[in-house]
Amino acid sequence: MKNLALISLLATTLILTAEADTHKGWHELSNLESWVEGSGKPVSAGSWVVVEGILQLTGKGGGDLYSAKEYGDFELIFDWKIAPKGNSGLKYRMAKYEGRGRLGPEYQLYDDGDKPFSKGSTASLYDIVAPDQKTKSLNKVGEWNRTRIVVRGGHFQHFLNGKKVVDITVGTPEWKKALANSKFKKVAGFAENAKGPIMLQDHGSKAWYREIRIREL
C-alpha cells in the first residue's frame, strides 16, 4: 500500500511539474493594461472593454489596440469570435513604412461567407498567403475559434483550431512571389523588421477575444 501511495504521489508531482512547465514564460494579454492606443496612450474608456475576462470590441470608434510591448520571436494563442459579416484581424511586428504608415503581417479574422480559402479569409496571411484548403476548419460565426501564431526570425506559421494553415518564410522564392502578387508589393522591406508591437484591429465589427497569451521564443 505504501508503494502504491508513493507511486501515486510521484505521478501527481510529475503532472503538476509538467503543467507548471507548460505555463512557464506565458503572459496574459486579455486585459486593457497590456494594450495602448495608436497614440501610445493608455486605452481610454470606450468601445474596448473587458467583461468576465473577455476583451471585447463593442462597436465602431474604439480604434486599433497596440501591445504595450514589442515582440520579435514569439508564440501567441487566443480564442476569438466575430459578429455576422464581421471583419477584423491581428497584426504582428508592426512597423512604420514611408508613405504607408504602420503595417504588419496580418492573421485575418473574418466571416468567410462563400470565400473560405481566399487570401482575405480567416487565418490567411492577409493578401499574401491563403490558408491551406486541406487543413482549414472554421467554426460557425458566433462560435469560438482557437488561433495560434508562431514567429521565429522570418518564419511565420498560422494555426486555426489546432491545424496549421499557413507556413512561409520571408525572403524565400515562395515569399517573393506571394508578396509580388499582393497589395504590399511596393512596400520596401515589408515584414523584414525583427520586432514590433502586436495590433488588434478595429475594422468596425464587433469582436471578442479571450485567453490571449504570449511567450517569447
For residue 179, the model assigns a pLDDT of 98
Q: For position 147, which CATH number holds?
A: 2.60.120.560
In a domain, 21, yes or no: no
Q: Regarding predicted confidence, which is higher, 59 or 175?
A: 175
- Counted domains in the chain: 1
Residue 14: inside a domain: no
Instruction: Determine phi and psi for 5, rounding to 5 degrees.
Output: -65, -40
Q: Residue 23: which pLDDT band, with cuts at 50, 70 and 90?
A: low
Average pLDDT over residues 70-90: 97
Q: 10 lies in a domain?
A: no
Distance CA 210, CA 145 (A): 10
Domain assignment present for 1: no
> Is 35 inside a domain boundary?
yes
Buried b (16+ CB within 10 A) or exposed e, 25-64: eeeebbebebbbbeeeeebeeeebeeeeebbbbeeeebbb
The pLDDT score that the predictor gives to residue 144 is 98
Please report whether residue 50 resides in a domain: yes
pLDDT for residue 77: 98
Answer whether residue 7 shows pLDDT above 60.
no
pLDDT at 14 over 70: no
With a CB cutoff of 8 Å and minimum separation 6, the contacts of 34 are 27, 28, 67, 68, 69
Question: What is the domain range of residue 67?
Answer: 27-216
DSSP letters along 42-57, please? BPPSSSEEEETTEEEE
Residue 109 belongs to a domain: yes
Residue 41 lies in a domain: yes
Query: Cell triple for residue 136?
Result: 482549414
Average pLDDT over all residues of the chain = 90
Give me the residues paired with residue 215 across strands: 75
For range 182-205, the mean pLDDT? 96
